[in-house]
Structure 1
Amino acid sequence: MRMNGKIALVTGGSRGLGKVMVDAFAAEGAHVVIASRKIDECAALAQQIREKYDRTTLPVACNVSDWAQCDSLVEKVYGELGRVDVLVNNAGMSVPYPSLDEVGEALWDKVLGVNLKGPFRLTAAIGTRMAAGDGGSIINISSMAAIRPEPEFLPYAAAKAGLNTLTEGFAKAFAPKVRVNTIQCGAFRTDISRAWSSDVEAELAAGAALGRIGEPAEIAAAALYFASDASSFSTGAMLRLDGASCTVQAKSLVMVRDSFRGV
């Protein structure tokens, strides 16, 4: 029970890696706030967590690309639960585009809003309260695209590179009471990966030194490390969790990108 009694807020928490982390935190004793754009999915998962673990759960609809909705999320959580001990900036998305010269301003703003603007606002607001209180842990979910950008993902890669930068900056800003760390993810087997063809999964697996894609329990273990006192001397860190992946073919990148749009 490494998180007994703690309150954990996970954005993009109703599906994919977010859902896995919500379950892992609750299993270790945490009460959870599940935030995403789709309140029905948040509420359904909240009910499952209550029944499975007898934890306090709070489902909240929030599009993190909207500054005002981020502020409303913070006020709702602190108003109902009083504090946040762990924040996971997990919500992410990418949008298909035919060519780089056809990336419009709306697409750019949408991708940067979800992947960078939202995490900045939530980290600034919650981290400030954590630092003024009993401290806490903030975990950013980044991507290997941040350090290995491909043309098919360029706005997304730029946003995640910015998120990596925010990690170290916020770690300094809120030290010593708040720790801020990043997990850089490769390909994982979640509900989102069901959209991948067998050829795409085989290529992704072949492109990793470990010869496979990640399993959900492996992101849960990393998130629990950063969320708990086990990582008490870790801040500003970036953990690669990709099986030592290398560049894959463009067709597979497009399939992966398209599968998690709008998470």
Structure 2
Amino acid sequence: MKTVEELFSLTGKVALITGGSRGLGREMAIAFAQAGADIVIASRKLDACEKVAAEVEALGRRALPYACHIGRWNQVNDLVEAAYNHFGKVDILVNNAGMSPLYDSIVDVSESMWDSVLALNLKGPFRLSALVGDRMAKGSGGAIINISSIAAIRPTKNEVPYAAAKAGLNALTLALADTFAPKVRVNCIIAGPFLTDIAKAWNMEEAMKRFGENSALGRPGEPEEIIGTALYFASDAASFTTGSLLTVDGGYRK
């Protein structure tokens, strides 16, 4: 039987994290490196990826910063090839990149906005999971973690395209868990409100009042509070967990 330390260790693993240069993605990248993994940090801005890569390397792990628009399949294809060429494998894939643009009313949602939201939040994760998951299934296995949102299960008028995309990501989790079984585990974190860069656009006084009224813990999450769940799904501690949709939202009710 493995010790607790061995169950949660990622020593010898390679993790590819999209949206890995900031917010929840950066937190997971640093935590996975601390647990022993080498990291592929992917986002649209190479300089931001390089900063996180330097942090990973300072922890004694290897890192590959890579600029990629996850909503574009040709760039996703290139990302996968770069990761495998550099490290020879990917053991953990985290589909974290996402966006939810603002709009004044539902009729203001343009076709291009709709397409871009669905591309980044759903199409890209599908393609990346298909490419990496297939190699995992034909090799030594692995873990895929999708980062969804409570908007997928409790959508509001302010995030209709995003909610639809994340609901699709939830469904994708279940479908891919079946597709790649038994060697690849596919799970999903349904994230609530976290104090990442997106919080800069909030009216903080109104937001804190809303969280106080509508969540059991009465506050938004700190970015590092995603780590425990992500590390569980990534590690051998979750060896009997797949097709799971786990809500991490502080008991958000509305």
TM-score band, normalised by shorter chain: over 0.9
**Structure 1 residue 63: Cα displacement:** 0.3
Q: How does 1:60-79 map to 2 (within 5 A)?
A: 60-79=66-85
Contact 1:183 1:239 in 2 (8 A): yes
Q: How many residues align?
A: 246
The equivalent of 2:227 in structure 1 is: 220
TM-score, scaled to structure 2: 0.94
**Structure 1 residue 125: Cα displacement:** 0.4
Which runs of 5 or more structure 1 residues have no equivalent in the other structure?
248-263
Separation in 2, partners of 1:194, 1:104:
25
**Structure 1 residue 186: Cα displacement:** 0.4
The equivalent of 2:17 in structure 1 is: 10
Separation in 2, partners of 1:151, 1:198:
20
The equivalent of 1:27 in structure 2 is: 34
- Equivalent position to 1:130, from 131, 136, 144: 136
Contact 1:204 1:213 in 2 (8 A): no
Separation in 2, partners of 1:238, 1:62:
27
Matched position secondary structure for 2:147: strand
* Correspondence 1:86 to 2:92: yes
- Equivalent position to 1:59, from 49, 60, 65: 65
Separation in 2, partners of 1:221, 1:34:
19
1:161-209 Cα offsets, whole Å, 9 max, x none, are 0000000000000000000000000011234424433313313421211
* Correspondence 1:100 to 2:109: no
**Structure 1 residue 215: Cα displacement:** 2.1
Contact 2:30 2:55 in 1 (8 A): no
1:130-176 Cα offsets, whole Å, 9 max, x none, are 00000000000000000111111000000000000000000000000
* Correspondence 1:190 to 2:190: no
Q: In terms of mean alpha carbon deviation, does 15-24 or 205-214 score higher?
A: 205-214
- Equivalent position to 1:229, from 218, 236, 249: 236
1:227-250 Cα offsets, whole Å, 9 max, x none, are 000010000000000112122xxx
Separation in 1, partners of 2:201, 2:103:
18
CA RMSD of aligned residues (A): 1.1
The equivalent of 1:208 in structure 2 is: 215
Matched position secondary structure for 1:88: strand
Contact 2:145 2:187 in 1 (8 A): yes
Separation in 1, partners of 2:12, 2:156:
42
Separation in 2, partners of 1:236, 1:71:
25
Q: In terms of mean alpha carbon deviation, does 198-207 or 180-189 score higher?
A: 198-207
* Correspondence 1:119 to 2:140: no
Which runs of 5 or more structure 2 residues have no equivalent in the other structure?
none
* Correspondence 1:173 to 2:179: yes
